């Protein structure tokens, strides 16, 4: 702003020029910077049920378990307190470390196996069949969830037992029976029964959303089919592939039915260890230590996987 002085017969008169454009824009920017942030009440109200659901059924039970893990059991009664003896005792036990390693290893193996088995199926449904066939295939993949998971596991007991359907067929071929029940293989079969249809569905949706023009461009540039799959299709469908693997790991890591009925529960997984711990003198605080450890592991794996899924390539 400039100030001009005019001298005339009536004395000195000072006149100010109007503010320049830069000055006006500077004041407008400062007003915008101090403008208060308004809460979007419409979005807040509609998101409230989800927030309440997470608080009531996830945050509150998790906090309760964390507090319970510091309580003590005296004369078969839980006493409120704050003592790390349960954590030190459980983490120092060899059977807890063995159970953790077994649970994590079986869940990881199930995740890798389900992802590898599901990918060819999902690829065929996404690129090789019509939309009508894909819809019917997804419908049939959903049907197993209409029945109880426990019923399907009981059916697998009949199939993989020592004198079950598979070994009866092997006996007709003159082969010795193959022990599958009450082994790690039986547990893995149960995990795949639980997770494989879901992984196929998630991978199919992700692959079906891939832009076909990018695949055609890769072919035009000389990429073969295999190279196109790994250089174009897989990176574009990375989010869906990783999310499917995460769901498989979460379901397998916390499953109780398969390791108990198909794996024989020996050696125990963490979910079976929780039941065994509660049965031995009502040791609920020690069982809470196992449960909190499982939840913490799943949160770390889930956050790491989601970060990898949405990380942009540099």
Q: Is residue 26 predicted with pLDDT exceeding 60?
A: no
Helices (H) and strands (E) in the chain, counts: 16, 4
pTM of the model: 0.82
pLDDT of residue 54: 86
Contact 253, 107 (CB under 8 A): yes
List, in order, residues 6 or more apart from 17 with CB less than 8 Å away.
1, 2, 3, 4
pLDDT of residue 118: 97
Q: Please state the rounded mean pLDDT for residues 48-65.
A: 88
Angle made by CA atoms 137, 188, 105, in degrees to the nearest 5: 120
pLDDT of residue 1: 47
Contact 134, 126 (CB under 8 A): yes
pLDDT of residue 8: 47
Q: Which two tokens stand for residue 128?
A: 């090789």
Confidence of residue 25 (pLDDT cuts 50, 70, 90): low
Q: Is 73 exposed, middle or buried (0-12, 13-18, 19+ CB in 10 A)?
A: middle
The residue with greater pLDDT, 11 or 264, is 264
Q: Is residue 34 predicted with pLDDT exceeding 70?
A: no
Q: What is the pLDDT of residues 226-265, one digit of tens each?
A: 999 999 999 999 999 999 999 999 999 999 999 999 999 8
pLDDT of residue 41: 77
Q: Is residue 32 predicted with pLDDT exceeding 70?
A: no
Q: What is the pLDDT of residues 84-95, one digit of tens each?
A: 999 999 999 999
Confidence of residue 49 (pLDDT cuts 50, 70, 90): confident
- Rounded to whole angstroms, the Cα distance separating 76 from 70 reads 16
Confidence of residue 196 (pLDDT cuts 50, 70, 90): very high
Domains of the chain: 1-35 (no CATH), 86-310 (1.10.3720.10)
The residue with greater pLDDT, 262 or 79, is 262
């Amino acid at each position: 702003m400039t100030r001009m002085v005019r001298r005339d017969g009536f004395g000195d008169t000072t006149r100010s020029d109007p503010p320049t454009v830069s000055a006006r824009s500077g004041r407008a920017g400062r007003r915008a910077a101090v403008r208060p942030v308004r809460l979007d009440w419409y979005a807040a109200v509609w998101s409230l049920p989800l927030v309440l659901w997470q608080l009531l059924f996830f945050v509150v039970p998790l906090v309760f378990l964390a507090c319970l893990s510091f309580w003590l059991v005296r004369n078969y009664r839980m006493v409120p307190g704050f003592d790390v003896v349960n954590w030190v005792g459980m983490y120092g036990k060899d059977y807890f470390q063995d159970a953790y390693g077994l649970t994590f290893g079986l869940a990881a193996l199930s995740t890798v196996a389900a992802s590898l088995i599901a990918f060819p199926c999902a690829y065929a449904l996404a690129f090789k069949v019509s939309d009508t066939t894909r819809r019917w295939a997804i419908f049939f993949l959903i049907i197993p969830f209409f029945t109880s998971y426990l019923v399907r596991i009981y059916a697998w007991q009949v199939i993989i037992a020592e004198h079950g359907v598979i070994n009866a067929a092997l006996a007709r071929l003159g082969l010795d029976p193959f022990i599958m029940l009450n082994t790690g293989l039986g547990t893995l079969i149960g995990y795949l029964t639980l997770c494989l249809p879901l992984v196929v569905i998630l991978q199919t949706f992700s692959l079906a959303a891939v832009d076909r023009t990018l695949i055609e461009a890769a072919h035009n540039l000389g990429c073969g089919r295999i190279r196109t799959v790994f250089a174009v299709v897989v990176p574009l469908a990375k989010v869906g592939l990783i999310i499917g693997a995460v769901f498989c790991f979460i379901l397998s890591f916390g499953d109780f039915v398969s390791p108990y009925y198909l794996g024989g529960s020996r050696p125990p997984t963490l979910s079976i260890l929780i039941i065994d711990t509660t049965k031995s003198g009502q040791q609920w605080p020690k069982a809470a230590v196992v449960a909190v450890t499982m939840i913490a592991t799943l949160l770390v794996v889930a956050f790491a996987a989601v970060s990898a899924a949405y990380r942009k390539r540099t």
